[in-house]
Structure 1
C-alpha cells in the first residue's frame, strides 16, 4: 500500500513540475518577444485628447505608515491630470490614515477621499473597492494597494494597453518587491514574486491567452466592472474571483510587464503566514464557488484555471504531503518500499527542475540571477516551499470549517513596515 501511495504522490508532483516547466518556457519566450516589443513602445502613445479618463482606487485601512509615499507616487504619474482621479478609500481606519488622505485631497483637485461608514465600513478590501467604485467616474478603473508606488509611466501603459486591445477586459502590469533586500524572507518572496509573474502570468498568457488579475497594478474597463456588479465581498482573494468572471464574459486579461509598480512585502514570518493563509483560503473559496458550476460557464477556457487551482491546492499539495509522511514514517519503521533508488532519483531530478525553472525566471530580470540568489533558490526548496504545504493544510481546514459552520468571513489586513530607505533594483 505504501508503494501505491508513493507512486501516486510522485505522479502528482511530476505532473505539476512538467506543467510549470511548460509555463516557464512560455514565460521565457514571452520575455524575448517583449524585449523586441519594447523598442516599438513609443508608437503606442495616444494623442493628448484620446487618453481615456482613469479612476485609481486605493483601499486603505490603518495605512499611515505607507500611505504618504503611495499618494506621492500618484502625484508623479505621467498622465494628463484632467483625465485622472485618485479615489482613496479610508476604510474604518483608527490611525491617522483619514487625516493624511484629507490633507492631500484638499491640496490636489484630482485626489478624492472616501470615508466608509457603518454598516459598510471595515468589511475588507472588496467592500472598500465597491465603495470607491460607486464614487468613481473614469472609463477605466485601476487598482493599487496602499503600500504601492507605481512608476510614473504605469497608468499610461495600462490605459494605452486597454485602448489598443479591444478584446482585453482588463490589463495586468508587473510588480516588484521594494524591500527585497531587507532580510532572507523578503529575498525569498522576491524570488517567488518574479517566478510567479514570468511563469504563471507570462507563461499562461503566451500559451493560453490567460492571466490572473493580481490585487494591485491592474486596470479594468468600467463597463466590464459594471456588468459584473463589482467585487465579490465574500471573496478573500477578490482578484482571482474577479478574473474568472471577466473571462466568463468573453474577454481576456492581458499581461503587460511594462506597467511597473513597487510594493512592500512581509518582513517577518508571522505576517507572511497570515497574508498567505488569506490568499490560500481565497483561492479555495474560488474552487468551491465554481467547481460545481463549471458546466454553467460560458467561456470554457476558464476551466483551465479552475482545474489548476484544484490540482494545486488539493492534488499537488496532497501528493507532497503524502510523500513527506511516507518518508518520515519510513525513517522510523521500514515500509519495505520497492521503489527505493528510483524514488530518490525522481526527487533529485525534480529538485534540479525546480531550480532550473526559477533560475530561468530570474535571468529575465536585470541583476537578479546572482550567486546569492542562486544559493537562496537552493535553500528555498527545502524551507520556503515546504512551508506552503503546511500553510495550505491550515487554510483548507479553516475554509472547510467556515463552510460547515457558516462562519462569517474575517479579513486580515497585511501589517506594514516603516521603510527607512526605499532602494529599487532595476526593473
Structure 2
C-alpha cells in the first residue's frame, strides 16, 4: 500500500468517524424532538423575574424597527421586562428610527444606548457588556437586531430557566425568515434545521449539552457577572460563554418551542464573510480551552472540545486530502488502489447525508417537500464544499492574524428589506 493509499485510508476513516457521530446525534435529536413535542413548557413562577432584553445593533436601520416592535409584543408581563437597544456607533439612521419608536411607546421600558467610536464599534461582545451595565433585570435575554421572535418566546425561555436552579441559561430555536429569497437561503434554512438544531437536540439528549447561539436565549445575570461578562476578543462570543458556564457547573437547556425568525445572508459574499467570522471565532474558543482536555476542570466541556477539534481540524484536513485525491485521479495525475472503495463510500455518504437531513427537517411543518430533497442533494455537492472553503480560509486568516498580531475584525452581516 502506497503512502497515498495510507493517507487516503486515514482520511476516509476520519470522515466516516465524524459522520457516524453526526448520525447518532440526529437519531438522538429526533428522539428529543418526539419527547419535547409532547411536553408543555413550565409556567412562569408566581414571582415573575424582571428581564432585561438586550439587542446589540450596528447600522441596523433596515431591520431594527421591526425587531423592537416584535419584542414589544411579547406575552410576558409588560411591567416585568425592559428592552435595551445598544445602538453601537451606527452611521446610518438607526438613532432617529429608535428615538421615534421610543416616542411612540412612552409607557414601555425601552432604553436606547447610543455609543460612539470611543466607547463602541468594537464588536458584539463589547456592545453587550455596555448594555449589561444599564440592565436592571435578574435575567438577561439576548436578541440579534434582525430577529422577529414569536410572542411566547421570552415567556417559555424564562419559565424553563426558573424551573431548575442548575440551569445557567436556556436557548430557543431560530428559523430562517427569508428562506425563499434565494437558493442560498434555502440551503441555510435546511442547514439550520438539521446541522445546527438537530445536533443541539442530540447533544442535549445524550450529554445534557448544548451551545448558546447568538440570539434567542436567556441567562442568569449573576452568572454573567461572575464570569466577567462577554469576552471582547471572541468573535464567537456565544460558544465562548457556553464553555465558561459549563465549567462553573451549570447547564444550558434547549427548548425548541421558543422560536425566533431571523434574516440570513442572501448573497454568497455576505455568507462567506459571516461564516469566516464564525470559523475564526470558534478556532479562538477551541485554542483558548484546549488545555482543559487534559484537566479535570474541563470534564463538562470535553465532548464539545473534541467535537469542535474534530470538525475544524481533523475533518477539514481529511476532506481536503480526499477531494484532492479525487480531482487528481480524475485528471490522471495520481492513481490509488483504494479508488473503487473510496467511490463506493462516497456514494453511501451521499445517501446517508440525504436521508439524515430529510429526517431532520421532517420535524418542521411544511419542510417535507420534494423540492427540499433536490435542495439537499445540491447541498452535498455545492454548499458542503463551500463550507470547506470557508473553513480553510478562516483558519488561514486566523493564523495570519496571530502571526502578525492583528486584531480580529467584527464583520457586520448585511441586512435586506
Pairwise same-fold verdict (TM > 0.5)? yes
Does the CA-based 8 Å contact 1:52-1:140 persist in structure 2? yes
- Cα-to-partner distance string for 1:374-417 (whole Å, 9 max, x where unaligned): 11001110000111111111000000111111101211010000
- Secondary structure, in 3 states, of the residue corresponding to 1:88? strand
Matched, 1:257 2:256: yes
Alpha-carbon offset, residue 35 of structure 1: 1.5
Residue 301 of structure 1 and its aligned partner are, at CA, apart by 2.3
CA contact (8 A) 2:27 2:202 kept: yes
What is the CA–CA distance in structure 2 between the aligned matches of 1:312 and 1:374, rounded to whole Å? Answer: 25
What pairs up with 1:325-364 in 2 under 5 angstroms?
325-364=324-363
Q: Post-superposition shift, 1:364?
A: 0.9
**TM-score, with structure 1 as normaliser:** 0.94
Q: Which residue of 1 aligns with 2:72?
A: 75
Deviation at 1:95, TM superposition (A): 0.7
Query: What CA deviation, in whole Å up to 9, does each residue of 1:177-221 have, x standing for no partner?
Result: 010011111000000000134421100000000000000001100
Contact 2:292 2:299 in 1 (8 A): no
Q: How does 1:290-329 map to 2 (within 5 A)?
A: 290-296=289-295, 298-329=297-328
The Cα offsets for residues 243-276 of structure 1, whole Å up to 9 and x where unpaired, read as 1001000011000011100000001101000000
Q: Does the Cα contact within 8 Å between 1:275 and 1:414 map onto a contact in 2?
A: yes
Q: Secondary structure at the match of 1:364?
A: coil
Partner Cα separation in structure 2 for residue 297 and residue 406 of structure 1: 32
Give the drift of 1:299. 4.4
Give the secondary-structure state (helix, strand or coil) at the position aligned to 1:86: strand
Taking a change above 3 Å as real, the CA distance of residues 334 and 95 of structure 1, as seen in their structure-2 partners, is: closer
Moved more, 295-304 or 406-415: 295-304
**Counterpart of 1:403?**
402
Deviation at 1:334, TM superposition (A): 5.0
3-state secondary structure, aligned to 2:38: helix
Equivalence for 1:158: 157
**Which residue number corresponds to residue 45 of structure 1?**
43
Is 1:371 the counterpart of 2:370? The answer is yes
2:94 to 97, 100, 109: 97
Contact 1:211 1:253 in 2 (8 A): yes
Unaligned runs of 5+ in 2: none
Find 2:33's aligned residue among 10, 31, 34: 31
Q: Is the 8 A contact 2:65 2:101 kept in 1?
A: no
Corresponding position of 1:201: 200
Bigger shift: residues 286-295 or 345-354: 286-295
Between the aligned partners of 2:367 and 2:17, the Cα distance in structure 1 is: 28
Asked if the contact 1:173/1:258 (under 8 Å) is kept, the reply is yes
Q: Deviations over 1:109-128 (max 9, x none)?
A: 31101112342210001100
**Following the alignment from structure 2 to structure 1, what is the Cα–Cα distance between the partners of residues 399 and 256?**
36
Structure 1: runs of 5+ lacking an equivalent:
419-427
Aligned to 2:276: 277
Of residues 93-102 and 182-191 in structure 1, the stretch that sits farther from structure 2 once superposed is 93-102
> Partner of 1:19 in structure 2?
21
- Asked whether the 8 Å contact 1:28–1:198 carries over to 2, the reply is no
Which position in structure 2 is the counterpart of 1:222? 221
* 2:68 is aligned with 1:66: no
Contact 2:67–2:147, Cα closer than 8 Å, also in 1: yes
The answer on whether the counterparts of 1:141 and 1:221 sit within 8 Å (CA) in structure 2 is yes
Q: Name the counterpart of 1:136.
A: 135
Aligned equivalents of 1:333 and 1:187: distance in 2? 36
Q: Distance in 2 between matches of 1:279 and 1:191?
A: 18
The Cα offsets for residues 69-111 of structure 1, whole Å up to 9 and x where unpaired, read as: 0011011110111110000000000011112222223333311
8 Å Cα contact 1:250-1:299 kept in structure 2: no
Take 2:333 and 2:4, find their aligned partners in 1: how far apart are those partners? 10
**In structure 2, what is the Cα distance between the partners aligned to 1:104 and 1:208?**
43
Tell me how far apart the structure 1 counterparts of residues 185 and 296 of structure 2 sit (CA, whole Å).
38
Shift of 1:344: 1.1
Structure 2 length-normalised TM: 0.97
Secondary structure of 2:49 counterpart: coil
